[in-house]
């Protein structure tokens, strides 16, 4: 897989007269994991959809490797950018493997594909997402966590340059949260992930962008962004931020004022 950079400049977007994102600008360096942080309603999901080309901004631009995302042909964009949404679902009677195969659609031509088209990519994606054993299971019988991992495999089967994840650890137990983020961290991709867990963001992200009410309030390395003052101002929570006693990694511990 190849990697590429993302540039977001002065992006503005709203709906029904309400501004959701206002003048958002930041860069996602090539091959890094960028975490989008912020409380519910801050605009993280809307921003991901704009960056993936699913919505068009009312102002500003998003460029991938210097190309305007919103001027790319849809098939070309789908080959380069893959989005794992928060609540993916289908009513079709598909197996887990058939869901993963959907990731190959952007690479298939107008004629029916060979039966083995993309087999290597599909198998590799399922192995990385640890869902190979679910291949023949019906989608409807999978748990929320299993569905999330199958959808990650679908996104990886696309063989994108940019992988976008909307709350990818939802529905996963702690062990699978760590496994998923570690797997994503090791990919040769530029990754953008909306996250709600500050400690996981500190552990797995190279770069953080913090949103509040549609504005960027902080942008930079985790150690520079995740300060007790920022956590208090953005989330209204007291926190201690510093190196973990054993691992040395940046660690965030919250202190709820309501618990004494």
Residue 180 in domain: yes
Confidence class of residue 245 from pLDDT cuts 50, 70 and 90? Answer: confident
Residue 260 in domain: no
Per-residue model confidence (pLDDT) at position 192 = 97
Kindly state the percentage of the chain with pLDDT values over 90. Answer: 60
Residue 21 in domain: yes
Residue 57 CA to residue 71 CA, distance in Å, equals 12
- CATH number of the domain that residue 38 is part of: 3.40.50.300
More confident residue, 147 or 255: 147
Could you tell me the residue range of the domain that residue 165 belongs to? 6-255
Residue 72 in domain: yes
How do residues 194-216 score in pLDDT, each as one tens digit? 999 999 999 999 999 999 999 99
Confidence class of residue 244 from pLDDT cuts 50, 70 and 90? Answer: confident
> How many structural domains compose the chain?
1
Handedness of CA 88, 27, 38, 170 (dihedral sign): positive
pLDDT at residue 137 above 90?
yes
Q: Which residues of 86-115 are buried (b: 16+ CB within 10 A; e: fewer)?
A: bebeeeeebbbbbbbbbbbebbeeeeeeee
Residue 233 in domain: yes
Residue 250 in domain: yes
Nearest to 163 by CA among 200, 126, 146, 188: 188
How do residues 217-240 score in pLDDT, each as one tens digit? 999 999 999 999 999 999 998 988
Nearest to 49 by CA among 84, 25, 17, 88: 84
Confidence class of residue 256 from pLDDT cuts 50, 70 and 90? Answer: low
Residue 119 in domain: yes
């Amino acid at each position: 897989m190849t990697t590429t950079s993302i540039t977001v400049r002065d992006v503005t977007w709203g709906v029904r007269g309400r501004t959701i994102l206002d003048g958002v600008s930041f860069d996602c360096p090539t091959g890094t994991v960028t975490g989008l942080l912020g409380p519910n309603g801050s605009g993280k999901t809307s921003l991901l959809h704009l960056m993936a080309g699913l919505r068009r901004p009312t102002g500003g631009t998003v460029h991938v490797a210097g190309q305007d995302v919103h001027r790319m042909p849809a098939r070309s964009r789908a080959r380069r950018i893959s989005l794992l949404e928060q609540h993916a679902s289908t009513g079709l009677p598909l197996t887990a493997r058939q869901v993963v195969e959907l990731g190959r659609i952007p690479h298939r031509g107008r004629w029916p594909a060979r039966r083995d088209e993309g087999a290597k990519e599909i198998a590799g994606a399922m192995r990385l997402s640890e869902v190979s054993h679910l291949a023949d299971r019906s989608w409807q019988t999978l748990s929320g966590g299993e569905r999330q991992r199958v959808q990650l495999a679908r996104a990886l089967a696309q063989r994108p340059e940019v992988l976008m994840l909307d709350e990818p650890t939802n529905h996963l137990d702690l062990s699978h949260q760590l496994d998923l983020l570690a797997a994503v961290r090791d990919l040769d991709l530029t990754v953008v992930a909306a996250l709600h867990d500050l400690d996981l963001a500190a552990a797995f992200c190279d770069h953080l962008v913090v949103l509040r009410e549609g504005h960027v309030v902080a942008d930079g390395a985790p150690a520079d962004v995740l300060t007790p003052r920022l956590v208090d101002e953005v989330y209204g929570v007291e926190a201690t931020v510093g190196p973990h006693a054993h691992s040395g990694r940046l660690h965030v511990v919250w202190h709820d004022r309501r618990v004494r």
